[in-house]
Structure 1
Amino acid sequence: MNNYYYNDYFEIGQQKIANFNLYQIGLPEDDAVYTLKKVLEELNFDQLTARYSNKGRKGYNPIMMYALIVYANMRGVRSVDKIVELCERDICFMWLAKGERPKRDAFYNFMNDKATTYIMENLHYQFVKILEKEGLIFLKSLFIDGTKFEANANRYTFVWRGSINYHLSNLLFSIEKIYERYNKLLTSNGYDDKYSLHEEEMFVIEGIDKVREIIRKNKERKLSKKKKISNNKVIKISNICPVKLLDLQTNLTKIAKEEDIIFVEGRGQKKTELQRIYEKVEEYGERLMKYKESFEIMGDNRNSYSKTDVEATFMRMKEDHMLNGQLKPAYNVQIAVENYFIIHTYVSSDRTDYNTLIPIIEKHHEMTGVKLEDITADSGYCSEKNLLYLKNNDIESYIKLQEHEKKKTRKYYQQIGKHYNMKRVEKTDANGDNQVYYICHANRELKLIRVETRREKGFSRTYKVYGCEDCSGCKHKSECLYNYDEDKDLEKNKVMKINENWEELKKHSEKNILSEKGIKNRQIRSIQTEGHFGDIKENDGIRRFNHRSKKKVYKEMMFYVMGRNLNKYHRFLQGTLKRFEPKNTEKVA
């Protein structure tokens, strides 16, 4: 079966349409379509062709379909209808299609069903290995950057965690009243003894007290016209909560059946108390399940999603057509580049870049098997978790610090309340133990008070808390203490928390980025990686995805990346593009 598709598509000798070859028609010999054909002949399509049955009529050749979509992306065409039209009118597409004219349904069936994520990655990394074999890349250094692309979702279909928390709080108050009415119904009518039913207690949802406290504070802040506090506390509704409401309905149904109570509808019909309670329990149960489903969609790492693409998160975009800072449903797309070629692509629903670095590195080790030597990225990836991961895996970090630009200012070194502007003293006491303390601007000692450990999302941080025993009479208090209030903080002493492990990791990364290699790496990243996104958005006009769901968006991106890499490869073959050599500069911003 596999040989059939290969023999059917890759012919020996000239590729012909009817009785004409491309040279006779007049297509230039340096056209990128020849480079595409050359690469396709070196790829192994066994996994793709294995998804086709050898029974019945044979559809369009899957290798041909893949070639057409990739070549369309090489030409900047992403619309399926446009590809269908080009297969009928454009000589290159007609040559790749061997004169056949696949329609839009054939393309959508191929992209959505046949070309799985695993197959797309397999073909991509086969091409990456070809580039490595030809010496165009070495896979030992990666230059990473990310940007946001708008999702194919309606703009005003947002669901916010804070809004759900607010409505859930009110719903639980209503459910609590229903429990009271239910228990009163049982005891006042003797149903508890008659049917062996007992009074029910309201279920508890962990964390709702903190949500209500924030709601209370926000109401007070609204009166004083202050900014609201974020109410994005992660709440988890257990399965037992809706089950307990269902138990109430079951009990009410049993009572109604035994007491011959008929539920009525319509104008002029008077409902019994039992029916009213039953309908309220049903309504509240449906709302509770709706909120539970929304929390499950968002998980622990997101605070919003779109109803028309639940995997898209609302993010602040640079393109703001209403000029009001509105949020749009989008995906965070990451690329890892070497020598102009996109080696890895990663699509995330996370608004920030912190959690995208480690998945890219793990994918590199899994798909290429090559040991990474260094990573270059901007300050968006600078976190203790990421730098510690790089250190533990012997990967040099060339990640710019978040305070990199601030360190160039005079104000940074004038903040006397910061530990990095204090003198750090290490000495050995009489017992031979090493002691560390800081000396502030007023020559007072800040000694170690305690050690704190915080654990968040599976990652722990250790803080050493230093404090001054007596700050009374210090004239630098207003500059040293954060948000100093003379009336409230007159007796307050200076206390500061220092994550020494984090400080050491930052110091090492800063040393790297200020080295000669670090300066060159930052030049390469800013020109190549950021240059890709500038070209994609401005020249190719890609700012919004055509498909919905992270899986389909990722495949759409993989088709585009394959086409983009082939264009770069074609330019290398033609000699119009050469390996980038950074300038030897002593100082780079």
Structure 2
Amino acid sequence: MERYKSVDNRDQMNLMLMCMDDMISPDSEVRAIDAIVDKMNIPSIGFTYSVTKETGRKPYNPVDMFKLYAYSYFNGIRSSRKIERECYRNIEVMWLINGLKPDFKTIADFRKDNKKQIKLAFHKFSMICDELGLIGKEMVAVDGSKFRASNSRLAYHSEKKIERKIEHYNKTVEQYLILLDSCDEQESDSITPKLSRAEIEEKIEGINKRLAELEELKQQVKGNGTIYKTDPDSRMMKVSNKGCDICHNVQIAVDDKNHLVVAVDVTSEPVDKGQFHSIALQAKEELGVESITAIADKGYYSASQFAKCKEDNIIPIVSKADNSFMAATKEYGKTEFRYDATQDGYICPQGHLLKAYHHRKEYTQETDVKRYQNYEACSHCPVREKCSNGKKGRTIQDRPFQRIADEVDKRTKQFADMYKIRKQTVEHPWGTVKRAMGFSYFLTRRTENVRTESLLHFLVYNMKRAINIVGTRQLVGIMQG
């Protein structure tokens, strides 16, 4: 009797009839992906090769290509060469695209040639999710994250970096010149040097050539700014753990009902401050609603962005960083001063009125800073040392659109419980695409291409989310019904 389980000889021929469909579990997610893509009616979106020519080699059906991308991204397979390998060894892929085997170039070109169509496909699936009742359409959470660009640090040139390199090469040349002098002394003393005179001169010539290249590059940087050779649209940005990397800034808006992503954008701006209105407006238009509430963290706090939101019926709830530089202690921050619209001034915690000053004739609320003070009251104030860093007294400063910002501050404080759900809403998609789907860096370059790559990832995230909520069998039944 054998100690272990025995299996059939893999070299033995058999007459067993096999059906590929029987090899796929009824609960397999690939069945849901297949049904979803069929429901999306890909040819109607206008993907390349939707209508084939009568002559010449037949192209691959865009439906099959889209299914291949959806399944691959769903399972964290992103490289076109890796996707190609799956076509030869993955039974689910063989079932999904009926045994087709496109090469990596065809796979990569499909994404490159269908940027607009992929964005429309994202919108199409959002409509399907809306029909399933998975989107609330009342509130979205906005957030951004930095993703490493396809641009190495060696292909990044700033003025300071070039100056450091020039300094390094100049010191190296000096060392070789000293070595050259010592080489002459060793030759006169009949001592064999480690490097010959010809070798040292060759190294000095190579360094001088490199220095000439750096000087030319320095002039280009002075004229055009920092150079990013591989991906000109990428930028050096601060990332987590207090580090820096060459990245793109990905922005998303997430519906609060089931954490589905309803808007995606990519920007080269390293900070989020100027992105709030744009991504919130995209979410509003995607959902087709008259107004929407948008929640974001303090990195998005911008009065000018809130003013734009007010014009487009977007209701911001954004936390504010209390960074009043004129306050001596947090106890007397700007939030402790109450604005009185009738007197156009601020009432301090001690009850004194700080009036507006330095009014210019061309002053406008939309462009200029407005200051308030009452130095006479400050001179006799018992808490002056706690309140003010100024020599004469406390100054309160209003930036453009301050009153609109005050409305947002009041609303954020009023709906503090609503603001608390921001993190659990918007961090869910980030964690899924980064950890489960392997999306932490870009494979493509330039803004339009990385935006398309991002849209594909979050489209597939939405598919995964819908499958988890509804269930594979139920979702397949609904899609085919």
Q: TM-score range by the shorter chain?
A: 0.7 to 0.9
**Sequence identity (%):** 22
1:532–1:439 distance in 2 versus 1, CA, 3 Å: closer
What amino acid does structure 1 have at the position aligned with 2:229? K
Match of 1:567 among 459, 464, 481: 464
Which residue of the partner structure matches residue 398 of structure 2? Answer: 498
Which residue of the partner structure matches residue 546 of structure 1? Answer: 443
Distance 2:160 2:88 in 1: 52
Instruction: Say if 2:143 and 2:253, in contact at 8 Å, map to a contact too.
Output: yes
What amino acid does structure 2 have at the position aligned with 1:39? I
Deviation at 1:34, TM superposition (A): 1.3
Distance 1:119 1:134 in 2: 23
Which residue of the partner structure matches residue 119 of structure 2? Answer: 121
Deviation at 1:84, TM superposition (A): 1.2
Which residue of the partner structure matches residue 451 of structure 1? Answer: 359
Which residue of the partner structure matches residue 558 of structure 1? Answer: 455
Instruction: Say if 2:40 and 2:124, in contact at 8 Å, map to a contact too.
Output: yes
Question: How does 1:430-509 map onto structure 2 within 5 Å?
Answer: 434-438=342-346, 446-451=354-359, 460-470=366-376, 478-482=385-389, 484=390, 489=391, 492=392, 494-499=394-399, 501-502=401-402, 504-509=403-408
Query: TM-score scaled by structure 1?
Result: 0.60
1:20–1:356 distance in 2 versus 1, CA, 3 Å: farther
SS in structure 1 of the partner of residue 316 of structure 2? strand
1:475–1:160 distance in 2 versus 1, CA, 3 Å: farther
Deviation at 1:24, TM superposition (A): 2.3
Instruction: Say if 1:337 and 1:344, in contact at 8 Å, map to a contact too.
Output: yes
Deviation at 1:395, TM superposition (A): 2.4
Which residue of the partner structure matches residue 205 of structure 2? Answer: none
What amino acid does structure 1 have at the position aligned with 2:276? L
Match of 1:130 among 107, 128, 131: 128
Match of 2:304 among 366, 381, 385: 385
Distance 1:365 1:161 in 2: 42
Instruction: Say if 1:140 and 1:371, in contact at 8 Å, map to a contact too.
Output: no
What amino acid does structure 2 have at the position aligned with 1:435? Q
1:395–1:565 distance in 2 versus 1, CA, 3 Å: same
1:99–1:291 distance in 2 versus 1, CA, 3 Å: same
Which residue of the partner structure matches residue 328 of structure 1? Answer: 245
1:399–1:22 distance in 2 versus 1, CA, 3 Å: farther
Which blocks of at least 5 consecutive residues in structure 1 are unaligned?
Answer: 1-18, 167-282, 296-303, 320-324, 427-433, 578-589
Instruction: Say if 2:295 and 2:318, in contact at 8 Å, map to a contact too.
Output: yes
Aligned residues: 400
Which blocks of at least 5 consecutive residues in structure 2 are unaligned?
Answer: 1-16, 165-213, 475-481
Distance 2:245 2:220 in 1: 26
Query: TM-score scaled by structure 2?
Result: 0.72
Deviation at 1:286, TM superposition (A): 9.3
Whose relative contact order is higher, 1 or 2, with alpha carbons under 8 Å and at least 6 apart? 2
Distance 1:129 1:86 in 2: 30
Deviations 1:481-536 (A, max 9, x none): 43x5xxxx4xx45443224842x4344334433446x514532x322311221233
SS in structure 1 of the partner of residue 357 of structure 2? strand
Instruction: Say if 2:142 and 2:279, in contact at 8 Å, map to a contact too.
Output: no
1:522–1:52 distance in 2 versus 1, CA, 3 Å: farther
SS in structure 2 of the partner of residue 48 of structure 1? coil
Deviation at 1:139, TM superposition (A): 2.9
Match of 2:336 among 421, 438, 445: 421
Distance 1:333 1:163 in 2: 27
What amino acid does structure 2 have at the position aligned with 1:34? R
Instruction: Say if 1:401 and 1:506, in contact at 8 Å, map to a contact too.
Output: no
Instruction: Say if 1:141 and 1:372, in contact at 8 Å, map to a contact too.
Output: no
Match of 2:318 among 373, 379, 399: 399
Deviations 1:280-337 (A, max 9, x none): xxx9999766643x24xxxxxxxx5633211111111215xxxxx4421011111111
The yes-or-no answer on 1:37 pairing with 2:34 is: yes
